[in-house]
Amino acid sequence: MLEMRDIRKAYATPQGPLSVLEGVDLSLAAGASLALMGESGSGKSTLLHLAAGLDTPDSGEISLDGQRLSAASEPARAGLRRTRLGLVFQQFHLVPSLSVADNLTLQARLAGRETPDWSGELLTRLGLAEMADRYPEQLSGGQQQRLAIGRALAGRPALLLADEPTGNLDEASAETVLTLLLELVRDSGCALLMVTHSTRVASRLERRLTLSHGRLLAEEAR
């Protein structure tokens, strides 16, 4: 599903290049789930952005579904993102001028793979069916994050990339949202790569990796 080989990435800063990733290898099978942990600033988001094709590594190979991301053009990477990936961020990045229902189906429509039954089911299971005609600003934080998850899943992606999806929520709603997310991921059969700080959250996923000083520490068996 997702293969990363010897990924290196440095950022240019006024103080000279800042090396963030120094040879990261990672692979994720279809339908599998993986928690990515590490201290703040260890490069978790950077790795996720590379996996999503939002950024390119300085060296190394990334392939998604057997397609080499690092060799693909920007439109081709955008196409892969559109049709194969679902993205959930800490900030929800909803479209304020679209209704809840239209936000939910946005990516699926962009990819040309909207299925009304699945969208309707998502709305119901995310508890958003009653507020389908509202606008994002009229939702609570937990509701907004559920909507963002629904948007990522509505197009039936092969891989869901989530960057601290519950980081902005209180404990109770974080728990609900996470449970929903894992349930939906399992039912739709897509793979999951999730960045999290919480060991409790990580423990609910199949695998767990920790990023430290630019490298992945040896995998802890569950």
Q: Which residues bind ligand ATP (CB under 6 A)?
A: 11, 13, 18, 20, 38, 40-46
**Strand 33-38 to strand 207-212: parallel, antiparallel, or no bridges (unpaired)?**
parallel
Query: Residue 81 CB: number of other CB atoms within 10 A?
Result: 21
Q: Which CB, 45 or 144, lies closer to ligand ATP?
A: 45
16-28 sheet: strands from edge to edge: 16-28, 2-13, 59-64, 67-68
Residue 44, CA atoms < 13 Å, CB-side half-sphere? 25
Q: Which does 210 bind (CB under 5 to 8 A by kind): ligand ATP, another protein, Mg ion, none?
A: none
Residue 49 belongs to what H/E stretch? helix 44-51
Our finding on whether 117 is near another protein (CB under 8 A) is no
In whole angstroms, the minimum distance from the beta carbon of 213 to ligand ATP comes to 11
Q: Kind of pairing, strands 207-212 and 191-195?
A: unpaired
Residue 38, binding choice from another protein, Mg ion, ligand ATP, none, Cβ under 5 to 8 Å by partner class: ligand ATP
109 binds another protein (CB under 8 A): yes
At 31 the three-state DSSP class reads: coil
Distances (CA, A) of 40 to 20, 23, 93, 218: 12, 19, 21, 19
Query: x/- binding map, residues 24-53, to Mg ion, per CB under 5 A?
Result: ---------------------x--------
Residue 196 CA from chain centroid, whole number: 11
11 binds, among another protein, Mg ion, ligand ATP, none (CB under 5 to 8 A by kind): ligand ATP
Which residues of this chain interact with another protein, rule CB under 8 A?
49, 52, 54-55, 74-75, 78-83, 85, 87, 89, 91, 93-99, 102, 105-107, 109-112, 114, 116, 135, 137, 151
Which residues of this chain interact with Mg ion, rule CB under 5 A?
45
